[in-house]
Amino acid sequence: MDDLVPHPSRAAAVGAAPPRYLIFFFGSLVALGPLSIDFYLPAFPTIAKAFGVTVFSVQNTLSAFLIGYGCGQFFGGSLSDQIGRKRVGYVGLSIYVVASFSIAFSHGIEQMIVLRFLQAIGGGFSTVICMATVRDIYPIEQLGRRFATVTMVVLVAPLVAPMIGSYVLPLGWQVVFYIKAAYAACLLAAYSVLVPETRHGRWSNLSVRSIFVQCANVVTRRVDGRRLPIRYALAMALATSVLMTFVTNASFIYQQYFGVAVSRFPYLFGLSVLGFMSMTLFSMRRLTTDNAAVFFRRGLTIQVCAVGGLVIVVLTGHAALWTVVPFIVLMVSTLGLIGPAGSARYMGFFTQLAGSASSVYSTMMFSFGGVLGALTGILADGTLAPIVLVMAAATATASLIGLTLGSRRGGRATATIPVSRDGSS
């Protein structure tokens, strides 16, 4: 039983005041996810030509990554509650490095899809522990600002990754994956030296059954008599899947539909990232425990309005760069409110099961993103209509769930709850 209860020395492991570099390292580690996605977006047409397939076939490698990433996060977070955060991080980063090198030697799109799935498993393992570790280290009143800081660091990746990808593309699309492998290898080295263990465990604690029990406890957790935690997770996951649906189709939208050159693609894509960063910076400065619920609901409202405007523009035949891009930028920017505020509220409901809570949310987020991205490929008709309608369904559902959360500050539910070996509390 004690093996799954937070170790009494974990606070001492990071000190009374955790080193400032820790939060930036976690941001750099979480950035592995967007780096894995955005870095190769400009290479979609090149990869399609190399393998003799369509761009929509190449998009399947991204959908496979999102689904695999969700699977990796589902198991990784719960395992870190059992055997410790660092063991899971080591395994994940090692898998990611090997898979990235292997992708560069792919001989066909099918092989690439399988390897991208394996790469995603490793990436999911290594990044899901970040949210849980931040919860381990920092007090609840700091969570919103800390998650916002992590997000700011993460956003550097989608801002610069497409630019770097377009610059190295003349060297061959394989170079993109060599760089990814090198980045993960550097993270692995830094992780082993700079980051202390914040959740002590043993290999003997390993139990697959416990993973499902722990996650079930997260899903069924009630606060003030309501299942508030899972509602926050669902709304966040659906709102973020809107972004992932856009990212999956960004190459088609900008490069194929609007005919944007490879050299201009990173700049158009970067506008959305800059908007996201601006809203996240606002959250860093203004987000508190008291206003997190308000920030969350307002972010959902703005997003559903932005996507609604996008649907109107597309369905009325007025789609052009100058009419579409502003709505996309606003749609993505709202996640700078939704993400930090929702994460602070959601993770604040958990202590011992922080890793499992991170697993549940991350699994839903990437699974939704992967499924919706694949759905846009299935429904593809050469127009933007299937893309914007899928995004509209996701954000509308998220907004409806947000309305059920009410306006009460309600339930921080952070009391320590003993956790048994099978994950029950």
Is the pLDDT confidence value at 207 over 70?
Answer: yes
3 state SS of 310: helix
What average pLDDT does this structure show over 9-14? 42
The residue that leads in pLDDT, 296 or 415, is 296
The residue that leads in pLDDT, 348 or 17, is 348
Is the pLDDT confidence value at 3 over 80?
Answer: no
What average pLDDT does this structure show over 144-173? 80
How many angstroms separate the CA atoms of 125 and 76, rounded? 5
Is the pLDDT confidence value at 420 over 70?
Answer: no
Asked whether the beta carbons of 201 and 87 are under 8 A apart, the reply is: yes
Instruction: Give the tokens for residue 344.
Output: 């602070």
Is the pLDDT confidence value at 11 over 50?
Answer: no
The residue that leads in pLDDT, 40 or 180, is 180
Q: Is the dihedral of CA 111, 157, 266, 336 positive or negative?
A: positive
Cβ neighbours of residue 238 under 8 Å, at least 6 residues apart?
A: 368, 394, 395, 397, 398, 401
Cβ neighbours of residue 354 under 8 Å, at least 6 residues apart?
A: 81, 131, 132, 135, 136, 347
Asked whether the beta carbons of 269 and 158 are under 8 A apart, the reply is: yes
What average pLDDT does this structure show over 20-36? 85
pLDDT, tens digit (0-9, with 9 covering 90-100), for 247-265: 888 888 998 899 998 788 8
Is the pLDDT confidence value at 350 over 50?
Answer: yes
List the one residue out of 191, 188, 211 whose CA is nearest residue 79. Answer: 211
324 — pLDDT class (breaks 50, 70, 90): very high
3 state SS of 64: helix
| pTM of the predicted model over 0.85 | no
Can you give the pLDDT at residue 143? Answer: 77
Domains in the chain: boundaries: 2-403
List the one residue out of 384, 75, 26 whose CA is nearest residue 215. Answer: 75
Q: Which of these CATH numbers, 3.40.50.300, 3.30.70.20, 1.20.1250.20, 3.40.50.1580, describes 2-403?
A: 1.20.1250.20
Can you give the pLDDT at residue 407? Answer: 56
How many angstroms separate the CA atoms of 343 and 311, rounded? 28
Asked whether the beta carbons of 124 and 68 are under 8 A apart, the reply is: yes
CA dist 257 → 45, 249, 251 (Å): 13, 10, 9
Asked whether the beta carbons of 229 and 223 are under 8 A apart, the reply is: yes
120 — pLDDT class (breaks 50, 70, 90): very high
In this structure, of 178-182, 194-198, 248-252, 352-356, the range with the lowest mean pLDDT score is 352-356
Can you give the pLDDT at residue 378? Answer: 87
How many angstroms separate the CA atoms of 249 and 374, rounded? 10
The residue that leads in pLDDT, 238 or 412, is 238
What average pLDDT does this structure show over 354-360? 82
Exposed/middle/buried for 224, CB within 10 Å: 0-12, 13-18, 19+? Answer: exposed
List the one residue out of 26, 264, 50 whose CA is nearest residue 176. Answer: 50
How many angstroms separate the CA atoms of 275 and 398, rounded? 21
Dihedral-angle region of residue 18 (phi above 0 means left; psi in -120 to 50 means alpha; beta otherwise): beta
pLDDT, tens digit (0-9, with 9 covering 90-100), for 73-107: 888 888 888 888 889 999 999 999 999 999 999 98
DSSP designation for 254: I
What single letter denotes the amino acid at residue 285? R
Is the pLDDT confidence value at 126 over 50?
Answer: yes
The residue that leads in pLDDT, 173 or 158, is 173
What average pLDDT does this structure show over 342-351? 87
DSSP designation for 290: T
pLDDT, tens digit (0-9, with 9 covering 90-100), for 259-284: 998 788 888 888 998 898 899 889 88
pLDDT, tens digit (0-9, with 9 covering 90-100), for 284-310: 888 888 888 999 999 999 999 999 999
